[in-house]
Structures are given as C-alpha cells and as structure tokens.
Structure 1
C-alpha cells in the first residue's frame, strides 16, 4: 500500500470540507469534519494493528482483538465500516458509534464534542453518506499516512478553516509563523513542562514538540498542559495532539480566568514554558472576582473591565516556575501604552522579568488590522539585561498570505538573531533601562523605544487608532451575540 503524499493528503482533507462547505457556514462545518477524520484515523489504525497481531499470533482472532495490541479500542459495532454500510439515520448511527468509542477509551472521553449529528435538516443522510464515502477513499493507517504527516495535514486543514471562517478563527487558531517564532525564542528543552492557558487547537503545544524533533532532541519526555474555554475547540486540540502521535498531555475545557484547572495545594501549578495567545481585549469577564483572586493573580493590579489582557498576563506570570519559567505571549500592541494600564505596566517593569518586546506586522491576527506584539518574560534573564528590556521593531518583516501576513523563514531568523545578540541594531533593536522606561510613563511602545526621534510624533495617533480598533471589535462582538439570540 503506497504512502499518500502531503499534497494528496491536503487535497483529500479539503475536499471533505468542500462537501460540507456549501451546506453550512464555515463556523459550523469544523464541528463535523474534524471528529469524522479522527474517527476514520483511529479505525484504520486499529485495523492495521489487528492485521499485525494476526500475523504475530498465526491468525488468532481473539489475541488480535486484545486491547494490549491497540492504541485505542474500537467496539465492533462502532467501527467505521459499520457506519459506511448504514443507509438511513446515518447521523444517529455516527452519534452512537462515537459515544461507544469514548466509553471504551478513557483517554478519549468527550473528545468528539457534542455536534448535532441527528439534525437531518442540516445533515441529511445523503450528505453524510457522500462525506463518508469521500473519507473512505483513503486509508489513514500509519503505513499510508504516518502520524507526523497526518498531523501536518490536520494543521493545514485548521489553517484553511481559519482563512475561511473570518473573525472566529482567532478563537482557536494563531498564525503558525508567529507560533514558530515564539517557540524558537523560548527554546523548550527535553523533560520540561509546557503550558498554554488559552490553547485553542493546541498549535503552540505542538510547535514546542516540533521544535525538539527538528533539533534532534528527546520530545516524548515533555509534559504538555492546556486549558480552553470552548468545548469543541478543546476537543479539536486533543485530536490534534493525538494525530501528531503525542500522548503525554492534559487538555481541559474551562474558563482560565474564572476557574483555572491546574492548581496544586491551593496555588497555581507552575511550568517551565508558557506560550499563549489570549483572547484580546475582552470586556465580558469577572473583574470583581479577579480583584479578590484567591491565587493572587492581581499582584500587579486589577485591569479595567473593558480589557482583560493584563488579567491573562498576570495569570501567565503566576504560572511560570520561579526559577526556570519563561513565557512568550502574543498581545495586541495596545497593552504597551494604554493610559488606564500605566500603573500595572510600571509594576511589571519594576519586578524585572520582562526580557524582550517584539513589535510584529499588522495583519498577524486573523481578519484584523491591529498590530501585535510578542512579549517575552524570563524568571532568569540574561545578566546583560538585568534592569533592562530589549525592544525589537519587526513590523516591516512579513510576507503577504491571502488575507493575513506571515513571517518568512528569513524573518524569523532575523528576529531570533536580534533577540540573542547582546548589542542593539540601529533602527531595529534597542536596549532600554527599566528606570528610564518608568520615568517615561512606562511606555513600552516598540517603535518609540527603538526609534524615538521618528515615532514620538505618531504615538498619540497610534494610541487613538488602537482604541478605535478595539472599540470596533467590541461592537462587532456585541452585535454578533445579539444577532444569534
């Protein structure tokens, strides 16, 4: 049986999306396609394992079906082939099969989500049968499609969905070139614990493993943790990790600010590496509870109701190991200069764990013109940066990719070299004393701190523009909720 090529795999996956795409909105078809692909994969791998066990046991069917021979148990009545041969009430049959597989495998509890498979007005039998037949056209066994390649295909599909779905992509998908940059700067090590408090489809956790693999280092010893607010997105994250052949992880569904899951002895669990792209500038959060946070996450101050960015930031700082902890966070650029958060920034600068702030091109957030920044914190900063912060202005480094911008490989290398260098690069990077920053209203705007003589005139304009963008996004969010009531 010949291996499927990456282009063939991508076409196969996207053609499955196209079958559903014309029948429902982009925000909906992922609910059905991702679970079905994962379902098909684990059934095909089960068959492959069964065939291997039959050869090993001289055709002993009882031995071949034993759970020890399989990564996941597939009850005979829940196998993909049974669904494929179902002609009526296909959605009901799928729903029952998925529940049986979850019941038979503790690791898969809740992984398929709660999609409305039995809604025939949305999923008539004919549509489901067309999709099942298409997915049946390729065997997703390890021999035909190794885990790393299927993982890449799944990431491709996640990215295509992001392109297709508009603003909602931000809820579960972070620009993968930014993720690669963040991972390259933190340089995860074998055996470390890695955490994403708003993990979406788990792209940042997967990137950490990919970094170790690419550098020829032991990657199975890393411990991955994530929390995600939306149940379906949390499920997609779990599937994504399994499809990348990653087994040691803990992804939970829940509100990180309201109810952080990773707690030990009434304290937040701490991690060596934290990577995050928190939802930007959300206004609907429990500020009053955070003001009296039992985990002390308001140690820099309580952010304004209209923007929870610094609530997530303080959660991340509290989640860093006090000796080895380091983090990379993708934030809207506004957190660097908004007046109402000045005192929080001043305290942040004063504790001297801010290592570097990188301004990146606008368009790195999906379907938003807002400029972004990557903030690097380190509990063990390099000696040359003690009481100092490095700024890198990489706004001009990007390549256009459809409706958003990406970082090219050379762009990532340029930023990484500037990050590692102990010298400033005129017009691109600069090192500032923390005391000077505090004297200047704790203004952390990257362009201003790299080229102040050029940017000081534009600072107020940038601030007002950022406020307008955030206000616009807030209004759009409210209107979206009202329209869906």
Structure 2
C-alpha cells in the first residue's frame, strides 16, 4: 500500500462512525480494530510461510505463528467477521481471549470500549467496520512496521483535529516533540521515559531519532505511564506497531502511584520527555508533603497547580550521571511567586540547562505560548552555573489554522542550544548570580531583549519610526502580559484552593 492509500484506508473507519459516535471517542473503537486486524494478518503471514517451509505441517505452522503472538481458536479476525449477530459480544470475547493468551505483552491492550452496547454501536455499524478493514491485508510484507506505525500517528493527529478541546490530553504537536527529542540527543542503549506518555508520541519520536542517526534502536528501553486507560492502550499498540520489543507502558496516576521503581527508590532513566497536564488542581497535595519516594525535595506545590510536583518527579527520575530531560510547561512555572522558593532551589542546584520560549497556537484549542525546560543531572564545564534562555516566539509557521515549527525554525533553535552563547534578540546566557538578581525569575523577556531595526545615527537622534515604536510597545506589552498571566494564575489558584476546601 502507498502512504496515501494507507491513510485513506485508516480514516475510512472514522467516516463510518461519524454521526454515531462523538469524535473524541473514535479512538477507543478504531485503534483496537486496526491492531486486531494487524495481529490476525501477521499471524496468517507467519503461518503461511511456516506451512510452506514445513511442506504442509500444520502443527509446526501454528506453533511458528504463535511465536510472535498467540491467537486462540475462534479468536481470529475472520472468526469475528463471520458472526451474523451479536457481533460486539463476539468481538469482545475474541479480544479478551487474545489478551489472556499473551500475558505480559498484551494484558488489557485492547482497552474497555463498550463493544456490546448496541444502542451506541449496532451490529450493522460493527459489520461495516469489519468489512471496511477486511478490504486490505495488514501483513508486514504489505504494510511494514514503520508504515503502519506512521499510519497510527496520522490517525492520532486526525482524531486530535476532530476532537478539539480533548486533544491536548493525548496529543502533543509533533514538530515540538521532534525538536525536544533532537535537543536531548537520545542514543543507542539509552533508557527513555515519559511519565505522562499519552499515545506514546514522544517515545516513538526518540526511537525515530536514533534510527535517523543510524543508531542501534533495538537497544533502546522505552518506558511510559499514562492515567487514561484507553490512551495507555493506544500507546502500547502504537509502540508494538512501530516494532518496539523492549517497552513498558504502565497505567495509573504518576503522582499518586509511580509505576517504575527499584526497591525503595524510583527507577532512573537516561532521557525523560514529558508534557504534563497543565496546572491540575485535583491532586493529593497532603500526601506529597510526606512523599515516600522523596519527590518533594524542592517543596510542596500549591493545591491549585501540580506543575512542580511533576517537575520534581521528573528530576528524581533522571539518572544521576547521564540524566537529561525536556518538559513542556506553561510559562507560569518560570515566574509564579508562589513557587519562587522551589524555583530558587532548582536554579541554585544548577539543574536547569535551557529555557525555551515557544510561539502561540502550537497546541490544540489553545492560543497559549508554552515553554520547554531542559535540565541535566551533570552539566558540561562550559554550562555550569549558567542557563541559556531562548526566545523563539517568532519561530513558528501557520497554515490552515494549524501552527507548527518548520525545519528551519527547529534548526535555528538547535543551533542556539548547541552554541550556548548570546545571540542578540534571540538567546542569552545568564549566570545563576544574574538570575538571583532577578529574584530567581526565569521569565524570558527579562533576559532576552528583542532586537530592533538598525537605524542610522541621524535617524537615531530623532523620534522613533513607527516600526521601532511598534516593536518597543510590543516588547513592553509582552512583559506586561507575562506579569498579568502570573496574577491570573494566582487568582485561579486561590479559587481552586477554595473549591478543594469546600469540596
């Protein structure tokens, strides 16, 4: 299949569901069906090859096909497709049987979609879906692992486009993810972790980066945790379809019950990538004050926002020698007064490597500007006692109401990060002493002053041109609105605290 044919084929399932199922729920039905079809077709492919090799030995062929994934009798795609009635029940039984036959690898991977709810998904709709997917063979020969994995990524983005306000829960702009990964430079043998992994996009991007640099990607060890059960299942399917063998995606709340630990300590990783949920209010702050994993080493964040709880979890999850992280955050973490003491300790510990400010509209249903904070357990001598601040607010493109980073935007940011030097109007290296003089605020406009158009000596002695005046006003306005964001965050936090108190 061509790439275009594959995308059209996959998206056809959503068209069948339109009008019957909310766009935000497409994923819980479509992704398990694609994965089920893939498993069945690959099983058939392995069986046919083994049957030919053994000159018709069906026992050998079955055992060989089961080496990859076991599909019990009566649980193949064709068995479900043949059902004349109660299709949802037949499908659900088959999916549970496959999960049970592949303990560890496929436990709960198909999620908990209401297949037997005929009001929501009548037999005729399910039959249409089955027939639609039966129109193509999803064997490895016909659709290689990377191709089908990319098809999954295509659907994730399309569903994010359709579902609007729910999209950010499970999808992060891939151009931003690609930039974060490139700046962290994952390499063969690294352990890579995403504590709020969504559909696994950051982990897959790290895998792709190692492949791109011709590294041995099979030696990567990928770990993720995701609170939403269906989204965690999609992440697992996504990784399997990308050919990842050594991975573990856990379900559950990372703050309340971190899944990865060794003895009485959190497991640590070479690379941590994350887009934590922004400023969540409903979390167990009281338990954090006596966190058994020692993740409160900077302090306890306010009830109104758990950003620094995730931050501390990530820092605690970094390998003491090789650990490095990139975290996508709201700008408030850089300057909010109520987190000032935690930020001071963070900066004095010399963990912050770089603060990158991004442009607006890079996130679904949100015009907000975000930032990426890069940290390292051990900085190189050149970077010790310093933080690089990059103002990339203008490094963004917008087409058809979608914002993204072009390759040239990513390259400019990466070049500034590699240089770790001042670049007028774009990047500034600030010492810890200079940051202390600013009250330990990391607000980027405090350090990176926008470059104004060059003027002649004669022009400079006269009133500013309209363009210069506009740029000066825009720069001062940005500082003003940054401070206003802090006020709004504070008021929002007070409301949140009151809600919790009254809850």
Pairwise TM-score range, normalised by the shorter structure = over 0.9
* Pairing partner for 1:234 from 229, 232, 235: 232
- Post-superposition shift, 1:458? 3.7
Q: Which residue of 1 aligns with 2:82?
A: 85
Distance in structure 2 (CA, Å) of the matches to 1:385 and 1:368: 34
Q: Which residue of 2 aligns with 1:482?
A: none
Q: Which residue of 2 aligns with 1:11?
A: 8
2:390–2:427 Cα contact (<8 Å) kept: yes
1:53-86 residue CA offsets vs partner (Å, 9 max, x unmatched): 0111001111100056541111130110111111
1:278–1:309 Cα contact (<8 Å) kept: yes
Q: Which residue of 2 aligns with 1:223?
A: 221
Q: Which residue of 2 aligns with 1:316?
A: 314
- Post-superposition shift, 1:29? 1.8
Distance in structure 2 (CA, Å) of the matches to 1:237 and 1:165: 18
Distance in structure 2 (CA, Å) of the matches to 1:206 and 1:200: 11
Q: Would you say 1:114 and 2:128 are equivalent positions?
A: no
* Pairing partner for 1:464 from 480, 484, 491: 484
C-alpha change, 1:469 and 1:288, in structure 2 (3 Å) is closer
Q: Which residue of 2 aligns with 1:46?
A: 43
- Post-superposition shift, 1:301? 1.3
User: Which TM-score applies when normalising by structure 2?
Assistant: 0.91
Q: Which residue of 1 aligns with 2:460?
A: none
- Post-superposition shift, 1:27? 1.6
Q: Which residue of 2 aligns with 1:196?
A: 194
Q: Count residues with an aligned counterpart.
A: 475
1:13-37 residue CA offsets vs partner (Å, 9 max, x unmatched): 1111111122111121211111000
Query: SS at 1:314's partner residue?
Result: helix
Q: Which runs of 4+ in 1 moved over 4 A?
A: 452-457, 466-476
Distance in structure 2 (CA, Å) of the matches to 1:10 and 1:388: 46
1:208-239 residue CA offsets vs partner (Å, 9 max, x unmatched): 11001111110000111111111111100000
* Matched ranges for 1:285-324 at <5 A: 285-324=283-322
C-alpha change, 1:475 and 1:121, in structure 2 (3 Å) is farther
Which structure 2 residue ranges, 5 or more long, are not aligned? Answer: 452-471
Q: Which residue of 1 aligns with 2:241?
A: 243
Distance in structure 2 (CA, Å) of the matches to 1:305 and 1:383: 37
Distance in structure 2 (CA, Å) of the matches to 1:331 and 1:315: 14
* Pairing partner for 1:183 from 173, 178, 181: 181
Query: SS at 1:376's partner residue?
Result: strand
- Post-superposition shift, 1:466? 6.0
Q: CA RMSD in A?
A: 2.0
Q: Would you say 1:423 and 2:421 are equivalent positions?
A: yes
1:27–1:165 Cα contact (<8 Å) kept: yes
* Pairing partner for 1:61 from 54, 58, 62: 58
Which structure 1 residue ranges, 5 or more long, are not aligned? Answer: 480-485
Query: SS at 1:363's partner residue?
Result: coil
* Matched ranges for 1:338-377 at <5 A: 338-377=336-375
- Post-superposition shift, 1:173? 1.0
The structure number with the bigger radius of gyration is: 2
1:280-304 residue CA offsets vs partner (Å, 9 max, x unmatched): 0100000010111111111111111
Query: SS at 1:450's partner residue?
Result: coil
Q: Would you say 1:30 and 2:27 are equivalent positions?
A: yes
Distance in structure 1 (CA, Å) of the matches to 2:106 and 2:343: 42
Distance in structure 2 (CA, Å) of the matches to 1:99 and 1:86: 17
- Post-superposition shift, 1:401? 4.3
Q: Which residue of 2 aligns with 1:269?
A: 267
Distance in structure 2 (CA, Å) of the matches to 1:354 and 1:36: 43
Query: SS at 1:77's partner residue?
Result: coil
- Post-superposition shift, 1:457? 5.8
C-alpha change, 1:472 and 1:440, in structure 2 (3 Å) is closer
1:367–1:403 Cα contact (<8 Å) kept: no
1:334–1:463 Cα contact (<8 Å) kept: no
Query: SS at 2:321's partner residue?
Result: coil
1:379-425 residue CA offsets vs partner (Å, 9 max, x unmatched): 12122221110011111111214444111111111110010003211
1:370–1:469 Cα contact (<8 Å) kept: no
User: Which TM-score applies when normalising by structure 1?
Assistant: 0.94
1:326-359 residue CA offsets vs partner (Å, 9 max, x unmatched): 0000011111111111111111110001000100
1:237–1:251 Cα contact (<8 Å) kept: yes
Q: Would you say 1:442 and 2:440 are equivalent positions?
A: yes
Distance in structure 1 (CA, Å) of the matches to 2:491 and 2:69: 47
1:359–1:372 Cα contact (<8 Å) kept: yes
Query: SS at 1:108's partner residue?
Result: coil
